[in-house]
Amino acid sequence: MKTTVEISDALLREVRDLAAREGVTLRTLVERGLHRVVAEAKHSAPFKLRRAIYKGEGQQTELVEASWERLRDLVYEGRGG
């Protein structure tokens, strides 16, 4: 199948030089690269966010309706600034 891909001039020069040194076509190098990307994607585990639970008694009663600004001020209280 034919397709068009835009590649930076500098990269294209490097790839052409590499292809010439290895005695292969530009197509061969492009296919090799794409095969590697596909293989890496298959073998890499998808990101999974770990479950993070706080095992305390929850928010303090007096802070249940506190604004984010109030909570932030309490977190940084006594730490300069």
Q: Report pLDDT for 81.
A: 58
Distance between CA atoms of residues 64 and 57, nearest Å: 12
Question: What is the extent of the structural domain holding 20?
Answer: 9-43
Secondary structure class of 46 (helix, strand, coil)? coil
pLDDT in tens, 62-74: 888 999 999 999 9
The answer to whether position 39 is within a domain reads yes
How many folded domains does the chain comprise? 1
Cβ atoms of residues 37 and 45 within 8 Å? no
Residuewise pLDDT in 10s, the chain (81 residues): 899 999 999 999 999 999 999 999 999 999 999 999 999 888 888 888 888 877 777 778 888 899 999 999 999 998 875
Structural domain includes residue 35: yes
Token pair belonging to 55: 């095992």
Buried/exposed 61-70: b ≥16 CB within 10 Å, e otherwise: eeeeeeeeee
Are the CB atoms for 49 and 60 separated by under 8 Å?
no
Q: Is residue 31 part of a domain?
A: yes
pLDDT at residue 13, as a whole number: 96
Residue 73 lies in a domain: no
pTM reported for the whole predicted model: 0.52
